[in-house]
């Protein structure tokens, strides 16, 4: 049985669309009310996952992709809860954000950059994160062993160009949050200037140049902001979309999703995408970026994109659950 996934739609300019108004654009002042209508945040939820899909994904496929990934996550936890003792009582809530992603590589790349940087997608997603913050119970500070920490944790998950939207939204929201301080204690990047945090960020096969985190705008994610977590980035050399096609569109540059982050304005750690029976050991001191070599599992050679969308594996769910557990 697929888990329930709340759906939100954006247009090509990044506007939020009202599903009850023949997909008319939601005025900025009405965004909160529409989110209230569309999202049914369970007070008993422990973890909120926001997923943004990538390139060449139809609305139907985006719904199926979100359901498929979150079904893997739910099933894996139910199969082996003892491997994630910090997640005792785990009750996830799932949200999928959909956007028009059809077109050639360069067209969609430019659209993703424009609607996130110049359009409204960053602001809409920032509004979504802010809404979830208003409605969720923030985690309480706990002892050094954080198994009894209460509250709802917020996790962002993107694929391909969807990672651009999420990272832009985090930077957009960070610019607005300059009061108070976060309560979660597990990651070391918390800052008293930010009243709440995103507790994990994972991007499967991110469609940005391999050195993107070495300079603006993406280097800002490595500075103090609301992201109190490492940035987990999977990569596989079998990803043709981010190898050959990315090189053609980006002047010979490989993408993060093809070879991992090669240069960054902060520490980078590289690890394998681990089997579901093998725990993750995050570095101490932790690195701001975690390259995750997924070439053993993301291996598809079908079609022109190869392994670009071949991330629907229990091992991917294991990574997400491990990061959620480490946020406690």
Better-predicted residue by pLDDT, 186 or 158: 158
Digit-coded pLDDT (tens) for 68-90: 999 999 999 999 999 999 999 99
Cβ-count burial 106-127 (b if 16+ within 10 Å, e if not): eebbebbbebbeebbbbbbbbb
Strand ranges (E), 82-192? 92-98, 153-159
**Length of the chain in residues, anyone?**
328
186-195 confidence digits (pLDDT tens): 576 666 666 6
Any idea where the domains of the chain sit in the sequence?
Answer: 5-326
Q: Kindly tell me the burial class for residue 271, based on how many C-beta atoms sit within 10 Å of its own C-beta (0-12, 13-18, 19 or more).
A: middle
Regarding predicted confidence, which is higher, 29 or 237? 237
131 close to 32: Cβ distance less than 8 angstroms: yes
Q: How far apart are CA 47 and CA 193, in angstroms?
A: 23
Q: What is the mean pLDDT of residues 158-178?
A: 82
Distance from C-alpha of 84 to C-alpha of 104, rounded to nearest angstrom: 41
Strand ranges, E, within 10-134: 17-18, 24-25, 47-52, 92-98
What CA dihedral angle connects 246, 252, 257 and 258, to 10 degrees? 110
Q: State the Cα–Cα distance between residues 179 and 235, nearest whole angstrom.
A: 36
Instruction: Supply the pLDDT for residue 237.
Output: 96
Instruction: Write the burial class of residue 186 (CB in 10 Å: 0-12 exposed, 13-18 middle, 19+ buried).
Output: buried
Q: What pTM did the predictor assign?
A: 0.91
Lowest mean pLDDT across 126-135, 137-146, 215-224:
137-146
Rounded to 5°, angle at Cα 176 from 213 and 48? 75
**What's the number of CA atoms in the CB half-sphere (13 Å) around residue 42?**
15
Residue 300 banded pLDDT, cuts 50, 70, 90: very high
Model confidence over 96-107: pLDDT tens digits? Answer: 999 888 877 778
Which residues on neighbouring strands pair with residue 38, listed in sequence order? none
Average model confidence (pLDDT) across the chain:
86
pLDDT digits (tens, 9 = 90+) for 240-297: 989 988 888 888 889 999 999 999 999 999 999 999 999 999 988 889 999 999 999 9
Closest C-alpha among 208, 220, 298 to residue 256: 208
């Amino acid at each position: 049985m697929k888990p329930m996934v709340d759906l939100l739609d954006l247009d090509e300019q990044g506007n939020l669309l009202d599903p009850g108004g023949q997909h008319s654009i939601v005025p900025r002042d009405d965004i909160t009310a529409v989110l209230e209508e569309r999202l049914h945040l369970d007070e008993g939820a422990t973890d909120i996952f926001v997923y943004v899909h990538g390139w060449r994904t139809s609305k139907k496929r985006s719904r199926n992709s979100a359901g498929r990934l979150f079904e893997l996550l739910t099933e894996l936890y139910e199969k082996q809860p003892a491997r994630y003792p910090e997640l005792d009582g785990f009750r996830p809530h799932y949200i999928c954000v959909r956007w028009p992603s059809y077109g050639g590589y360069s067209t969609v790349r430019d659209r993703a950059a424009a609607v996130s940087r110049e359009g409204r997608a960053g602001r809409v997603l920032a509004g979504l994160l802010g809404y979830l913050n208003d409605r969720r119970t923030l985690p309480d500070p706990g002892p050094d062993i954080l198994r009894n920490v209460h509250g709802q944790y917020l996790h962002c998950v993107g694929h391909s160009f969807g990672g651009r939207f999420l990272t832009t939204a985090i930077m957009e929201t960070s610019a607005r949050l300059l009061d108070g301080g976060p309560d979660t204690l597990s990651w070391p990047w918390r800052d008293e200037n930010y009243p709440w945090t995103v507790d994990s960020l994972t991007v499967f096969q991110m469609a940005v140049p391999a050195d993107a985190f070495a300079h603006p705008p993406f280097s800002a994610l490595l500075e103090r902001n609301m992201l109190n977590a490492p940035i987990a980035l999977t990569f596989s050399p079998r990803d043709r979309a981010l190898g050959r096609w990315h090189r053609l569109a980006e002047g010979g540059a490989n993408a993060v999703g093809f070879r991992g982050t090669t240069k960054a304005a902060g520490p980078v750690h590289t690890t394998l995408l681990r089997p579901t029976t093998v725990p993750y050991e995050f570095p101490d001191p932790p690195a701001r970026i975690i390259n995750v070599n997924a070439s053993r599992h993301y291996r598809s050679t079908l079609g022109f994109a190869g392994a670009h969308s071949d991330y629907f594996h229990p091992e991917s769910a294991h990574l997400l659950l491990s990061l959620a557990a480490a946020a406690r």
